[in-house]
Structure 1
C-alpha cells in the first residue's frame, strides 16, 4: 500500500508554487487538464494553497474545456500585494523552530558567544542537546539573513543578535514605518517591507500605486540572483521557458535590466557567447538562475553593450549580431507650430536617441537608427493623424505600417 503524503499549506519548493501562481495570474484561460507538466493531484494541492492565500482574489469561469481559474484584482486599489503570501509559507522542521527560539533567547542581552558556548547554554537551560555543527549552520544562515552578527577574533567566530530595529535607526519610528509602508508597495523586493511591517504588527493604509505590477514579485528571487551575478561580474546558467513551455538552458553573461513603462515587463540583457550576440530574456519566463564562474571579459562585454544600447528602442537586438546592421527610420509629420508645440516637445522627450528637425513651416522630421524598428511601432502609431510619411531602410517595416493603416480604414468603413 502506497502511503500518500498529507496536504500542507506550507511549501518546500517556491519555484513550483511560483509557476502555478504565474499561470493563474497571466494565463487565466487554463483549465485543470492544461497543466500537463505535473500530476492532477499536484495541481489540486497547489490550487488549494493558492485559494487559501488569495481567497478574495480568485475568479472562476467556465468554457467548453472546463472550469478556468485565475487571480483577478485591481492592483491600483490594494494596500498589500496578495502574492506576498507565497513567501510567508515556507515549511520548517521541528529543529528549525526549536533552534530559532533557543538561539535568540540565549543571545538576548548576552555578550557575543562562540558556537560551543551557545551549545552549552542551550543544553544547560533547556536540557536539549544539538550538535555544534547543526548550530553553526543555523547561525551562518541567520548571519546571511541579518538576524545575527558574526564577530571574528583570533581563536573563533563569535555571534550576537543584531540590534538593527526601528528604535535604533530613526528617532521618529512612525516616520520610519511610513518609509517601510511605501517600500512594501515598491518593486523589486517590496516583500521585504511587508515582512518588516508584519513583524511589528503594522499595516499599510497610506500608499496606493496606480500602475502596480504585482505579479513581478514572483520574479524577485530570479532578479536577485542576476543582480548578484552582475555585481560579481559572473556568468550564469539560465533555465528558460518560452511561450510554448519549451525548456532551454542558456549560458550567458548578464549585463543590465530593462523595464517596460507600458507593461511593467522586466528583461535581463545578456551576452550569449555561443551565438556571439546580445539577447534579452523576460524574467517571468526564467525558472531558475545558477551563478557560474567569474567572466574574464566582463568589462569588454559591458563596453560593447554600452556602444549598442543607443540602437535599442526597448529590449530587442533584432536579428543582428554585435557588429550587424541597423535599421534607419524617418517619420515626416505635420504639426501646427502655433497650437501644437506640445507635440514637438513630446517628440523630443520620448524619441529616445532620435533627432527632431524642422524642415519647413509646420513640417517636422523624426529620424533614428535602431536594431529593431518594430519595437517603436506602437509609439509611432500614437502620431496617426499627423504623420505624412514613414520611411525605413527595411522596406517590410514601412509596408507593414501602411498595411495596418489600410486595414484599420477598411474596418471602420465597414462599421459605417
Structure 2
C-alpha cells in the first residue's frame, strides 16, 4: 500500500529549496532537479500545489506540465507566509497542545506534577491505555515557555506554569503591523501575530513588494542576532561550501529584491546572497567588528551595491537629457553617492566614482533614450556599453 502523502513538513530548509526551484527560479523537471530523489520531488511539488493552490497555474506544453506562481499585484498580504505554518507533529504533540492550554485556560498556576495529574484525568476517559510520562509533559511545557505561549515562575523549589495573556491591540497598532509585515525583515512574525485577532482586511497596497524575501527570514534573524551581539558566524551555503566571517550589515536591493550579507574576513569585505545561504552557527565574540564597519563605510563611497574589489575607483560621467521635471527629481533620488550637475537647458551630468560599474548597469539601462553621452577612462566598459545598445537596436530593428 502506498504511503499517504502528508502536507506537513519537518524541515523548512527542504521546502525553501523546492519553492525556489519550482516557483522562483523557474519550474524544473524531475530530471533537471538535483536536490533529492524523484519521490521527494513529487511530494514537494504536491505539497506546494496544496499550500499555494490559489496562486499556482499550470499549462501543458508538448506533453509537459508547466507550473507558474502568479501573485496578484494589488494584494496586500504575502501568500508565501503560509509556508511558515507547515510543521509535522506526533500524537503526543497534538494531544498535549490542546490539553495543556485547556488546563491552564482559566489562568491557573500549576506545577508540572499538577498538570500531569490533570492530563491523567483526561486520559482516563479513553480505553486504549494511552499514557504520557511526566518528562514528556515537562519538555512540552518548557518548549511552550521558550515560544512565549506559557510563562513560568519559581516559587520555593517548584516552577509554576501559566498561560501568557493575549495583548490587546488598538486599530492603529494592527494597521501598523499590517504595513510592516510586508516591507520589514521577518514580516512573517507580524502575519502570525495578527492571526490571533479578528482583523479587517489590510488597507495597504504596495507597488513594489518582494514576497519571496520571506523564504530568507530564518537566516536573516540568525544574522541580525549575530550582528547585534558582535559575533562571528560559520555559514553553510546551498552548495555545501562553508565560510566563516564577521557579519556587519544586511543589504536589500530595491531593484531586484535580493538581500545580501556584508561581512569581513581577515580584513577583506565579502558579500553573500541570503538565498544562497542554508544555515549558520555562532562562533563567539569577534574583535574586528568596529574595524569592519570602518572599512565598509570607506568602501561604500566607491561601490554601487555590494560588489567590493581591490581595484582603484574610476570616474563615470553620464550626460542625460531630462525634459520632464519628475525625471530630474528621480535622478536626485536614485543617484546614491553620485553627483548631479545641470550643464545646459534640460541637460544634466551625473558623475560617480566606482570600483566596479557592473552593479550600476541595470539602473543605467532604465535611462536608455535619455542618455546623450557616456565618458569614462574605463574604455573597455564604455565600449561594451555601446555594443550592448547596438545589439539591442538590432534586436528590435532600430539600427537605422
TM range, smaller chain? 0.7 to 0.9
The answer on 1:271 being equivalent to 2:273 is no
Contact 1:332 1:390 (8 Å CA) reproduced: yes
Say if 1:383 and 1:101 are closer, same or farther in 2 by CA, change over 3 A. Answer: closer
**In 2, distance between residues paired with 1:297 and 1:208?**
42
**In 2, distance between residues paired with 1:152 and 1:231?**
30
Worse-matched range after superposition: 143-152 or 383-392: 383-392
**In 2, distance between residues paired with 1:239 and 1:150?**
36
Q: Say which of 282, 307, 314 aligns to 2:273.
A: 282
Tell me the secondary structure at the aligned position of residue 352 of structure 1. Answer: coil
State the match for 2:250 in structure 1: 257
Tell me the secondary structure at the aligned position of residue 70 of structure 1. Answer: strand
Q: Say which of 99, 105, 110 aligns to 1:108.
A: 105
The answer on 1:349 being equivalent to 2:333 is yes
The answer on 1:365 being equivalent to 2:349 is yes
Say if 1:176 and 1:139 are closer, same or farther in 2 by CA, change over 3 A. Answer: same
State the match for 1:136 in structure 2: 138
Q: Say which of 37, 40, 54 aligns to 2:38.
A: 40
**In 2, distance between residues paired with 1:201 and 1:37?**
40
Q: Say which of 165, 168, 186 aligns to 1:163.
A: 165
Contact 2:210 2:257 (8 Å CA) reproduced: yes
Runs of 4+ in 1 over 6 A off after TM superposition: none
**In 1, distance between residues paired with 2:156 and 2:377?**
69
Contact 1:62 1:68 (8 Å CA) reproduced: yes
Q: Deviation string for 1:25-63 (max 9, x for gaps)?
A: 123242122123311111111111111122222223445
State the match for 2:282 in structure 1: 291
Contact 2:319 2:374 (8 Å CA) reproduced: no
Worse-matched range after superposition: 95-104 or 342-351: 342-351
CA positional deviation for 1:289: 2.3
**In 2, distance between residues paired with 1:77 and 1:344?**
28
**Structure 2 unaligned spans of 5+:** 125-129
**In 1, distance between residues paired with 2:269 and 2:90?**
44
Q: Deviation string for 1:311-338 (max 9, x for gaps)?
A: 2212221xx2xxx3332223142557xx
TM-score between both structures, scaled by the size of structure 1: 0.83
State the match for 1:213 in structure 2: 210
Cα RMSD after superposing both structures: 3.0
The answer on 1:310 being equivalent to 2:312 is no
Contact 1:311 1:326 (8 Å CA) reproduced: no
Contact 1:60 1:67 (8 Å CA) reproduced: no
State the match for 1:401 in structure 2: 385
CA positional deviation for 1:117: 4.0
Worse-matched range after superposition: 290-299 or 257-266: 290-299
Contact 1:255 1:269 (8 Å CA) reproduced: yes
Worse-matched range after superposition: 350-359 or 123-132: 123-132
Q: Deviation string for 1:247-289 (max 9, x for gaps)?
A: 322222221111111221111112234xx42122222222222
**In 2, distance between residues paired with 1:106 and 1:154?**
22
**In 1, distance between residues paired with 2:281 and 2:216?**
15
CA positional deviation for 1:387: 3.7
Contact 1:329 1:373 (8 Å CA) reproduced: no
CA positional deviation for 1:295: 1.6
Contact 1:143 1:149 (8 Å CA) reproduced: yes
Q: Deviation string for 1:281-307 (max 9, x for gaps)?
A: 222222222233222322222222222
User: Number of matched residues?
Assistant: 395
Say if 1:327 and 1:307 are closer, same or farther in 2 by CA, change over 3 A. Answer: closer
Contact 1:51 1:58 (8 Å CA) reproduced: yes
Q: Say which of 192, 195, 198 aligns to 1:195.
A: 192
**Structure 1 unaligned spans of 5+:** none
Say if 1:113 and 1:233 are closer, same or farther in 2 by CA, change over 3 A. Answer: farther
Tell me the secondary structure at the aligned position of residue 54 of structure 2. Answer: helix
**In 1, distance between residues paired with 2:194 and 2:139?**
28
Contact 2:234 2:243 (8 Å CA) reproduced: yes
